[in-house]
Structure 1
Amino acid sequence: MSSTTGSEATPSVPPQTTPTDAQSSPPPQPRLHFLDLVLTLVAGGLCLVAALHGLKVMLGPDRLTMVMSSKDPAGLILLFFVFFAVVVIAVWVGVVRHGRAAPGLLALRPFSGRWWWLAPLCILLLSVALDEGFLRLVRALAGVDLTPQTSQVIAGLATTLPLALAATAAIGLLGPFAEELLFRGLIYGYVDGRFGARAAWATSSVLFALAHAEPAHVALVFPIGVLLGWVRMRSASLWPCVLAHMINNIVVVCWAYLDS
């Protein structure tokens, strides 16, 4: 008669895992930080000082003084080129540490096809309404000319075809790209990552207007900044803002050349 000398071994049961344990949590989305703004500001300041020193050496102190007083159209266009290039370089320095994520953080991404025509059309209509409607109305009713000094400067630049082409490249192409990259790229992206899209829309619009300094120009530019911010928010891309801004500025320069 046989007898058992040990208990039967019970198979081990693997611990159950919940779906949340089985799936790894998604990596945090990259976003802009305050350090990016600081790096951009420092880089912009250093580049601007270096650029002005270079212009002083290249043009000479006397001509640089004439440029600053808007008495040298060619030199002033060169100054616009340098200033807007400094802005682009400063923003790039501010975000380059993010590597491949940097373009996305600045909203340099594809967008819906309808914004190709909708954004420029809306900006042009608003710009014409402000310049040819509001300013003319104030001039007719109050006898006050609120035309910004900047508009008069642009009119003084585009007096010949070569100057008009150079002004188009500086003010019509490079300028809008630099301004959009700073205000609705870097600043909008930073505020959006912390306080949401509506706060970013408002902040970028206000700072964009204040950057134009002259009170009359601030008042006229603010509605355009609001509309550009709305385009940025709805399209989730910077490119339609850049396109609309470029077309608006090119029309301004061409109109100044034809009017001269």
Structure 2
Amino acid sequence: MVAPENSPSEDTNPERLAAHTAADSPIFESEDQESAQFLDQFLDQALQTAQGEDAPRPHDGSSGNAAPPGPGLIESICWMFGVFGAHFLGIMLFLVCGVIYLIATSNISQDPDTFRKEIAQLVEGHPLEAAGVEQAVFVFIGLIAVGLRLGKRPLQKLNLQPFAISTGFLLFICVLPLALMSGELYRIAFDAWSLVAKQIPILERFNEMQTMEIVKDMAANNSLWSLILVIAVFPAIGEELIFRGMIGRGLIARWGLVPGIVITSIMFGIVHAHPAHVIAVIPLGMFMHYVYYVTRSFWAPMLVHFMNNAFAVSMAKMATELPESAASLGDETQPVHPLIVASAALFLTAVCIQLWKTRVKYMTPQGEEWTPGYPSTEQPPANSPVTMMREKAHPLLYAAGVFLFLIFLVSMAAFSPQQEAVTAQPEAMQLITF
């Protein structure tokens, strides 16, 4: 998957292409034409869906007049609310199954107040089962909805080609710095939110939606493998399909790379409900979307999503079984030393540069970079004379990455907080699932 260096022509530079696409977006039309443009866009999207987006597209690297695929901003917002709806249906299914179980076992009361208490006790006593049904329903609905919206050749549009082993290793070692930085961002955001909530008591109800508090409770009474299935596998499939595979596909094609990633990641954060959690996962969503774009592989953001959540639940499980060695696990009140945060940020910056330098490109026989007419991660049509290429980064860039990662590890060992005369290890952080 590694090819010799071959720079794309200026006319197909992704940044210029993104700017060109954004400039042609309906948001730049005059106010007098806004309604008409919106209607045209809606009809175009309906036509693309009906035709499976099989309209002819240029294969010569030029932007052409190809209509951008996937949802626009309004439809993307509807998809975001659809995520809430799918989770709600999952919860309702669990409650229905719970009522059927109580009726079948003759453990249900005829008194309405007692009945509500029995249902509440059922949910509180089986939080992992409730989350499992909720997530399974969400993934099932997401697979059907995305498949219908993508139309023909959905796998080609998602792009399920494998990525390089070296890229996988690089993403693996990014998990700890990402978890640390998102945890510190969560701590800062939660402190700020707590100050606001004290002034407006009704806002404290948001604290009931803290995902990691629920995860810690589930970790004490369930196996690690069941936790990973429900909290790591299901979200990695469902949320990546909706946000990176569907919403991000349409927004990047219309708004360009940077605005599309930012808007998609904000929507991704909003579905996590608690304001502090929302702020903490937005940068993670941006990183995953960036990884998707540079690797041209849907497996890459899924892997990052899975590894982050699996790492978080593994550390939560360790805290319940080995409290003496994980005394400060998940303690968001413990700030992370600024040098640790700085070293993590520098390392992740180097990783992003390296991923961009080694990004996957589809090259035509003329030596130009192929594009369907808009920024995209999709594969070229099967009959296109296009070759996938991945350039090598300069050796100094690899050396810089190794050096910065070692600096990060040293700063972790030197500046982690002390508790009971024992140096807290990297697990002494607020771990965020998303």
Normalized against structure 1, the TM-score is what? 0.71
Kept in 1: contact 2:251–2:260 (CA 8 A): yes
SS in 2 for 1:114: helix
Cα shift at 1:114: 2.7
Q: Is contact 1:39–1:94 with CA below 8 Å preserved after alignment?
A: no
1:117 aligns with 2:178: no
- 1:171 positional shift: 0.2
Q: Secondary structure at the match of 2:174?
A: helix
The percentage of counterpart residues that share the same residue type is 23
Task: Give the match's secondary structure for 2:164.
Answer: coil
Q: Which moved more, 1:111-120 or 1:243-252?
A: 111-120
What amino acid is aligned across from residue 89 of structure 1 in structure 2? F
What residue in structure 2 maps to residue 32 of structure 1? 70
Q: CA deviation at 1:51?
A: 4.1
The answer to whether residue 293 in structure 2 is matched with residue 233 in structure 1 is: yes
Match of 1:185 in 2: 245
User: Are the structure 2 counterparts of residues 215 and 125 from structure 1 closer, same or farther at C-alpha, using a change threshold of 3 Å?
Assistant: same
Aligned positions of 1:127-138 closer than 5 A: 127-131=179-183, 133=184
Pick the aligned partner of 2:216 from 155, 166, 181. 155
| Alignment partners' CA distance in 1, 2:277 and 2:88 | 26
Q: Which residue type is aligned with residue 230 of structure 1?
A: Y
Equivalent residue letter for 1:93: I
Deviations 1:68-97 (A, max 9, x none): 5xx32xx32222222322332233222334
1:88 to 131, 134, 139: 139
Greater helix share, structure number: 1
CA contact 1:123–1:245 (8 Å) conserved in 2: no
What letter corresponds to residue 91 of structure 1 in structure 2?
A: G
Superposed counterparts of 1:40-79, under 5 Å:
51-60=90-99, 62-66=117-121, 71-72=124-125, 75-79=126-130
- Distance in 1, matches of 2:291 and 2:88, equals 34
Distance 2:243 2:256 in 1: 15
Q: Equivalents in 1 of 2:185, 2:71: separation in Å?
A: 39
Aligned residues: 225
Q: Using the alignment, how far apart are the partners of 2:138 and 2:279 within structure 1?
A: 23
**Aligned Cα root-mean-square deviation (Å):** 3.6
- Judge conservation of contact 1:167–1:253 (CA < 8 Å) in 2: yes
Query: Which structure 1 residue ranges, 5 or more long, are not aligned?
Result: 1-25
Q: Matches of 1:178 and 1:198 in 2, distance apart?
A: 23
Change in CA separation of 1:219 and 1:67 when aligned onto 2, cut-off 3 Å: farther
1:239: Cα distance to partner? 0.9
Separation of aligned partners in 1, 2:76 and 2:164: 29
2:306 alignment counterpart: 246
**Aligned equivalents of 1:47, 1:171: Cα separation in 2:** 16
| 2:93–2:133 CA contact under 8 A, matched in 1 | no
Query: Relative to 1, partners in 2 of residues 1:103 and 1:79: Cα closer, same or farther, differing over 3 Å?
Result: farther
| Unpaired segments ≥5 residues, structure 2 | 1-54, 58-65, 100-115, 196-206, 321-434
